[in-house]
Amino acid sequence: MGSILIKNGTVTDTSESIADVYIENGRIARVGDCSDVRADTVIDASGKYVMPGLVDMHCHLREPGFEHKETITGGALSAVKGGFTSIACMPNTDPVIDNPALVHYVITRGEEAGYARVYPIACITKGMKGEELTEMATLKKAGAVAFSDDGRPVSDSGVMRNALEYAKTFNLLITDHTEEKSVSGDGVVNEGVNATIAGLRGINRAAEEIGIARDIVLAESLGAKVHIAHVSTAGGVELIREAKERNVKVTCETCPHYFSATDEEILSYNTNAKINPPLREQSDCEAIIDGIRDGTIDVIATDHAPHSAGEKNREFDLAPFGTVGFETALSLAYTYLVDPGNIDMPKLVKLMSHNPAKLLGLPVVYVKPGAMADLVIFDPAREWTVKADALSGKGRNCLYDGWLLKGKVMHTIVGGMLKC
């Protein structure tokens, strides 16, 4: 393992300062003036941020079973291209990740890939059927970092109550896809004016908010913790804000598409804008940004959801939900949150690295001597146009194809090794 010297970068975690960073044997050896150091690789980071590697607590790698969409290797490569050094993948594969053998499989495949660190999230219920709880303590021992039936809600409130109670006993994290299916039905976009114009079936925001409210009530009654996935509505943000004011143990995440895009994207029938929860209205985007700014929202995750071209190139109603997001997430966060002055870079590090790591029980990386050398070098001045065909991994279903973004990942270092 060679040594790396990063020169003159803006070192950013809880604060910002200009410094050199010297990496040796997989760890940060020195931070400060390293002009006397000789290294195998030297990177001039003048004008660039040197920050902890990003941690994505919500992505889909599709393996096993859906390798025509993506593989763990392809997804992990795409992740490091976007500055992610650790990623936690959802269990809605085929078969679903509900037993220790499959947890071990995902971990092993991630190690073999050799890009980002890959951590499996296991199912809350066996077969993701929403009926019988998995052996969560056993799955955690095998290496699962959290539990979710993401892609489907746990509709039975009794089952969800039992899951939260079980998780409380063993200090496990439940991350829930909140959706009341009797309300969302067979909708494909946000219910509103644009759905009417496009002639597409709508999903009322109440479907998400009912699910959030239920989980908050259950968590509060049990004194248990719960994490709400991909919050997209103003009402959802307010429910979580009020719960936090009552000291309910609720945390939540949003995704870049919920603060950067609206349901106007569906008017061209672009199936890459078909996402669940759906893209909402401008007022929801503003509420999401407010929630990020005031700390109601704890994490920015990607919900990276690759699909094959054949699956997405269909009628809007028939195309699957989801967009890829690894390689655009940090640039979108910079373009829509940092550059306009909504938050600063240390706050973004907290949202995209420190907080998700803490929630998942992973090492929290700070740019200081002795720390694990999982770092990203990000150029805030670099403007680039997203080209879906140039992205890594198999998935090309990118909502942001053709968008001009500000700020780009230049290098990602995982365990002291330069990955891109």
Residue 34: the pLDDT is: 97
157-170 vs 206-222: helix axis angle to the nearest 10? Answer: 50
Model confidence over 335-362: pLDDT tens digits? 999 999 999 999 999 999 999 999 999 9
Asked if residue 222 has pLDDT above 90, the reply is: yes
In a domain, 29, yes or no: no
Torsion of Cα atoms, 172 then 125 then 117 then 102, to 10°: 130
Owning domain of residue 261 = 55-329
Summarize pLDDT for 12-33 with one digit per residue, the tens.
999 999 999 999 999 999 999 9
Residue 379 in any domain: the answer is: no
> Is residue 386 in some structural domain?
no
What does the alpha-carbon distance between residue 272 and residue 266 come to, in Å, rounded to a whole number? 9
Separation CA 294–CA 313 (nearest Å):
39
254-263: per-residue pLDDT in tens? Answer: 999 999 999 9
Overall domain count for the chain: 1
Please tell me the predicted confidence (pLDDT) of residue 1.
80
Q: Is residue 49 part of a domain?
A: no
Inside any domain, residue 394 = no
The tokens describing 15, both together, are: 């604060």
43 found inside a domain? no
pLDDT classification of 363: cutoffs 50, 70, 90: very high
Confidence category of residue 303, pLDDT binned at 50, 70, 90: very high
pLDDT score recorded for residue 283: 98
Q: Which amino acid, residue 28?
A: I
- pLDDT reported for residue 206: 98
Q: State the Cα angle at 323 between 318 and 329, rounded to 5°.
A: 170
Would you please indicate which residues are annotated as catalytic (active-site) residues?
303
| pLDDT for position 213 | 98
Query: Which one-letter amino acid corresponds to residue 255?
Result: C
Alpha-carbon distance of 292 to 128, in angstroms, equals 31
Residue pLDDT, tens place only, 145-177 = 999 999 999 999 999 999 999 999 999 999 999
Instruction: Give residue 142's pLDDT.
Output: 98
Q: How far is CA 221 from the centre of its chain?
A: 28
In a domain, 413, yes or no: no
Tokens 């941690």 locate to 55
Tell me the CATH number at 211. 3.20.20.140
